[in-house]
Amino acid sequence: MNSKLIIAIDGPSGAGKSTLSRLLSQQLNYINIDTGAMYRAVALAASREGIDSEDCQGLEALCHRIEIHFQRENGHESVWLNGEDVSEAIRTPQMSLLTSKIAACAEVRQAMVRLQRQMGKAGGVVLEGRDIGSVVFPQAEVKFYLEASAQARGQRRYDELVAKGLEVDLQQTIHEVEARDAADSAREHAPLLRPEDAVAIDSTALTIDQVLEKMMVVVSQRLEQRA
């Protein structure tokens, strides 16, 4: 039996999934698969090629001709699209909203799910997104659902963008978080939901280190059970 786990981290935008997925994978020496970044990369490619977010056939064809991969070097993780580092380009507010629309296309989700399953089937991976434990890897041995208030998530996003030198409005950023929540929860294909067997962690009043500690306790227990 493979002793390495498949770990799924789900939750709404801004709950800390990307950061905690990266930290948890480092702690365990696992591969970190940022599934949200994969959809963002598709959104960026679609924007550059002028493909409408409702043109699901055009988006499906796009998914088959682009190449997405992750790279870790000197502790830094980057997202690559067709040989270009797009780690920053996919993180703008515009890409966040477009990504939610792109991800609503069943054809896009099917293409990304196939790729995610291929990347993670051997175990030893941490995947984060909005439907990992419910759709992509319902058989994952460890599932987390990270959540936080929209105000807290909007503040974090605002602070992140300001730190990058961008001019943003706090209330508008919170509104964008709420709009993303509504779009993700209402979409027809693989909507955001909490798997029944997921461990829920509310990070509103917790630091990243405190959340990571809680997650490591759960993972350690599961590893001991499999030993």
12 is in an annotated binding site: yes
133 is in an annotated binding site: no
Residue-wise DSSP of 47-89: HHHT--TT-HHHHHHHHHH--EEEEEETTEEEEEETTEE-TTG
19 is in an annotated binding site: yes
How many whole angstroms separate alpha carbon 147 and alpha carbon 128? 13
How many whole angstroms separate alpha carbon 213 and alpha carbon 80? 30
How many whole angstroms separate alpha carbon 108 and alpha carbon 51? 13
17 is in an annotated binding site: yes
124 is in an annotated binding site: no
In 100-181, the DSSP E strands lie at 125-129, 142-147
96 is in an annotated binding site: no
195 is in an annotated binding site: no
Residue-wise DSSP of 7-32: EEEE--TTSSHHHHHHHHHHHHTPEE
11 is in an annotated binding site: yes
How many whole angstroms separate alpha carbon 221 and alpha carbon 5? 12
13 is in an annotated binding site: yes
Which residue ranges make up the annotated binding site for ATP? 11-19
Which residue ranges make up the annotated binding site? 11-19
